[in-house]
Amino acid sequence: MIHYTLLDPETVWEEWPSKPIPLEQHTINGVPLLMRRIDQQSWRVEQVLSTDPSDFLLPQYQPGVIYGLNPELQPAEAPAVLTMS
């Protein structure tokens, strides 16, 4: 890969983290997801691992959605939904 720019390389590449934050697999409502911890209370969806094509269309599992303290609960910006089993 070649990156053409007028800036010096130190300016372009200076903000790369020295060590990437590892991904962890979590299952939310039966849907396996790869998630990355943002901080002590937040997780971000990085990838859907489901074999069911309809899971990829659900907005609560799309990459970039942030879940609160416990990733098995509801997304941080969604209202709480109770389900009976």
The answer to whether the beta carbons of residues 32 and 60 sit under 8 Å apart is no
Report domain extents, the chain.
20-67
User: pTM value?
Assistant: 0.62
Is 55 in contact with 61 (CB distance < 8 Å)? Answer: yes
Question: What percent of the chain shows pLDDT beyond 90?
Answer: 31
Give me the half-sphere count of Cα atoms (radius 13 Å) on the Cβ side of residue 12: 8
For residue 25, pLDDT over 80 is answered with yes
Question: Is the pLDDT assigned to residue 36 strictly greater than 70?
Answer: yes
Q: Is the pLDDT of residue 16 over 50?
A: yes
Confidence of residue 79 (pLDDT cuts 50, 70, 90): very low
Taking residues 32-57, report their average pLDDT.
91
Residue 82's pLDDT band (boundaries 50, 70, 90)? very low
Tokens at 54, concatenated: 């309809």
Question: Do 25 and 16 contact (CB within 8 A), yes or no?
Answer: no
- Residue 64's alpha-carbon distances to 16, 46, 47, 76, 82, in angstroms, are 19, 6, 9, 12, 23
| Predicted pLDDT at 71 | 56
